[in-house]
Amino acid sequence: MKKTLFLTSMICFFLHVNIFALDQISTNDNNKTKSYQGILAVTISKSGTCLLKVILENLLGVNNIGPSANYSKEQLEKLISYNKPYFFHPIEENSYWCVFNYPKAKKILTIRDPRDVIISLVDFIDKEGTKLWPQLRLEYADWMKYNRKEKIKAILNTNHLVISFERIDEIIRKCDNTYVCKFETLVSNQSCNIEAILDLAAFLEIPITFNEASLIAQNSYGSNKSVTFYKGVSGRWKEEFDEELKLLFKRNQLSNYLFRWGYEKSYEW
């Protein structure tokens, strides 16, 4: 009896070791077939970060890391060597440097109309609290005393989004291997845009069919993993920007990206 148990245990052990080894070889071989090393997703707050994470999980079959700036250089190098997506916001000083230090890494950048970013951010802070946006320098109780217009003004008075958009723009101008993922292209009619998923797959050198992309779209939009996903629509700013807010925004550095990134045809909007 003891001999049988021993032999069974040894067989299970060797099977486990061999499966692990095969998994490692498979991962390494898969990396060798790619022309790049590393996937860095640099995302602006409220521009589809959670949705993009779920899409990449479904596309690559791996769990993504981040958004986080807490990884050491050694940990980050390991993630990059295995082409495991690492998410971070450009405001995070401890991570931002890596987009320039790893020229062979693929960079996926999310952008969105900054006016809609602000509106979505108001909803987010209302729900999750001011602790997640410390630059406001407001206690949650004080924030909730503000009306919607005052909240928009408070966000415009910080430089958090300005720095984020500036850095995304810098990556676009200075780095190769970049894919700009517009929120407005990724999300359409309360669903994922299948063509955007196909483009993303092509960028990552992953051959998939239209039907496979369609399935990924269905399994990604509205996923319970997208816990911060709010409405997923564009143009909400038009409901809340009066003439005063339009003027304040036009005086803000964020307005530079409306024309530069094709959200407006001129500065007269």
pLDDT at 224: 63
- Give the lowest-confidence range in 25-39, 147-161, 168-182: 25-39
Is residue 23, in this structure, part of any structural domain at all? no
Is residue 169, in this structure, part of any structural domain at all? yes
Backbone angles phi, psi at 105, to 5 degrees: -75, 145
pLDDT at 225: 60
pLDDT at 143: 96
Using alpha carbons, select from 157, 176, 206 the residue that is nearest to residue 57.
206
Is residue 176, in this structure, part of any structural domain at all? yes
Interval 100-130: pLDDT, tens? 999 999 999 999 999 999 999 999 999 999 9
Is residue 177, in this structure, part of any structural domain at all? yes
pLDDT at 68: 66
Mean pLDDT, residues 146-174 taken together: 95
In terms of pLDDT, which residue wins out, 132 or 210?
A: 210
Assigned token pair, 253? 């550095």
Q: Calculate the average pLDDT of the chain.
A: 83
Residue 78, domain extent: 37-260
| Relative orientation angle of helices 194-203 and 49-60, to the nearest 10 degrees | 60
Instruction: Count structural domains, the chain.
Output: 1
Is residue 5, in this structure, part of any structural domain at all? no
Is residue 15, in this structure, part of any structural domain at all? no
Show contacts of 74-77: CB within 8 Å, 24+ apart.
Answer: none
- For residue 131, the domain's CATH number is 3.40.50.300
pLDDT at 18: 33
Is residue 221, in this structure, part of any structural domain at all? yes
Mean pLDDT, residues 26-48 taken together: 75
In the sheet that holds 39-43, the strands lie side by side as: 86-88, 39-43, 106-111, 178-182
pLDDT at 171: 94
pLDDT at 219: 86
CB-count exposure of residue 186 (10 Å: 0-12, 13-18, 19+) = buried
Mean pLDDT, residues 63-69 taken together: 73
Is residue 194, in this structure, part of any structural domain at all? yes
Query: In percent, how much of the chain has pLDDT > 90?
Result: 54
Q: What is the CA radius of gyration of the chain?
A: 22
DSSP string covering 205-261, please? T----HHHHHHHHHHHTT-TT-TT-----S-GGGGT--HHHHHHHHTSGGGHHHHHT
Residue 29 has pLDDT above 60, yes or no: no
Mean pLDDT, residues 220-244 taken together: 76
